[in-house]
Amino acid sequence: MDPNAAAFTAWHKTEKALRQEFRTQPRDGRIAHAIRIIPDILARCGYGSANRRSVLKIAKALTERPPVIYAPSCPDYGNNGHIYTFHGLGGGVSLLTRHHVGFLARLTAVLPEVKVIFLLADQEADDEEILRSVSVDRGAFLERMHSSLAETRKYIAPQGWTAEFMTHAIPDLRELEREEARRIAGDPAKRSRINDEMRMRASMYRRINPRMTEGMMRDRTIRTAAQYLAMGQFVKKQNALVCNHSTTNLKWYAETDVAILHNPISVY
């Protein structure tokens, strides 16, 4: 097993734990197959997938027929080829989507039967700070999102994958995000965590708005955490897997018990 894939030291112990977990759930050899291919999957994933709890969740999702991977992705924001600068908005395939396509192509080499669904974050058209940064109004933002959706579908068509807007796949997404944001904001135990994450994300916030206040940054940090909780809950209900880049928000996914395929790249 590739040592870069493992946050745990003995694969045979993890394999034993998986077999024990699934001992009463025979599924036409799907469990044995999932356990057999997990080392190859972990060899392609980052730290967010490489612990025993994550491996168990991945194994459960892989027993679905076919397994489904959701890949949330952002709009086609301006970038320097490595990170988003938020200087402008295109109507093509976003930087993050391109990274995810390469990552998922490596995964599907060992998961040829998997169904992949990209979810484009069209709800970001509601973000006034983003609109100001990319210098378009909401209508123009949505027009470019429709162009990006069409271009993304063409880009991933050779793999047989699909793409949708997040709000189409999850019609109550905005309501779910608002509910989670209220819960986080009202929980004193989350205050220190939000402040830490706000500081870690400050450089990105300044790219969006150099004059962004600390209060604005905190609100954005809460809203982003809420987005990850809402997405994680949706994907978990499908017993699917979520593909995600490196971010402080991976820990919010963990609260939803969703299976994470961590693409170890950073674009923010």
Residues 133, 87: Cα–Cα separation, whole Å: 6
Q: What is the pLDDT of residues 191-247, one digit of tens each?
A: 999 999 999 999 999 999 999 999 999 999 999 999 999 999 999 999 999 999 999
What b/e sequence results for 99-124 when a residue is b if at least 16 CB atoms lie within 10 Å of its CB, and e otherwise? bbbebbeebbeebeebebbbbbbbbb
Confidence of residue 17 (pLDDT cuts 50, 70, 90): low
pLDDT at 176 over 90: yes
Residues 112, 221: Cα–Cα separation, whole Å: 36
Domain boundary pick from 63, 86, 107 = 63
pLDDT at 57 over 80: yes
Is residue 70 packed enough to be buried (19+ CB in 10 Å), middle (13-18) or exposed (0-12)? Answer: buried
Determine the structural domain holding residue 201 and report its residue range.
65-263
Of the candidates 30, 12, 4, 57, the one whose C-alpha atom is nearest the C-alpha of residue 259 is: 57
* Contact of 168 with 145, CB cutoff 8 Å: no
pLDDT at 65 over 90: no
Domain presence at residue 145: yes
Query: What was the pLDDT predicted at 219?
Result: 96
Query: What was the pLDDT predicted at 60?
Result: 86
Q: What is the pLDDT of residues 140-161, one digit of tens each?
A: 999 999 999 999 999 999 999 9
pLDDT at 4 over 50: no
CATH assignment at residue 98: 3.40.50
Query: What was the pLDDT predicted at 2?
Result: 46
Percent above pLDDT 90 for the chain: 77
Mean pLDDT of the chain: 90
Query: What was the pLDDT predicted at 36?
Result: 82
Residues 71, 163: Cα–Cα separation, whole Å: 9
From 38-52, 80-94, 134-148, the region with the lowest mean pLDDT: 38-52
**Continuous segment of H or E residues that includes residue 86:** strand 84-89
Based on the fold, state whether residues 150 and 191 are members of the same structural domain.
yes
Confidence of residue 96 (pLDDT cuts 50, 70, 90): very high
Query: What was the pLDDT predicted at 9?
Result: 46
Query: What was the pLDDT predicted at 6?
Result: 44
Residues 103, 100: Cα–Cα separation, whole Å: 5
Query: What was the pLDDT predicted at 27?
Result: 56
Domain presence at residue 78: yes
Domain presence at residue 268: no
Q: What is the pLDDT of residues 104-127, one digit of tens each?
A: 999 999 988 899 999 999 999 999
Confidence of residue 14 (pLDDT cuts 50, 70, 90): low
Domain presence at residue 9: yes
Based on the fold, state whether residues 31 and 132 are members of the same structural domain.
no
More confident of the two residues 54 and 177: 177
* Contact of 52 with 17, CB cutoff 8 Å: yes
Domain boundary pick from 14, 32, 63 = 63
Residue 89: strand pairing partners:
77
| Count of domains for the chain | 2
Under the phi-then-psi rule, with left for phi > 0, alpha for psi from -120 to 50, and beta for the rest, what region is 93? beta
> What angle, rounded to 10 degrees, do the helices at 214-237 and 173-185 form?
120
Based on the fold, state whether residues 56 and 77 are members of the same structural domain.
no
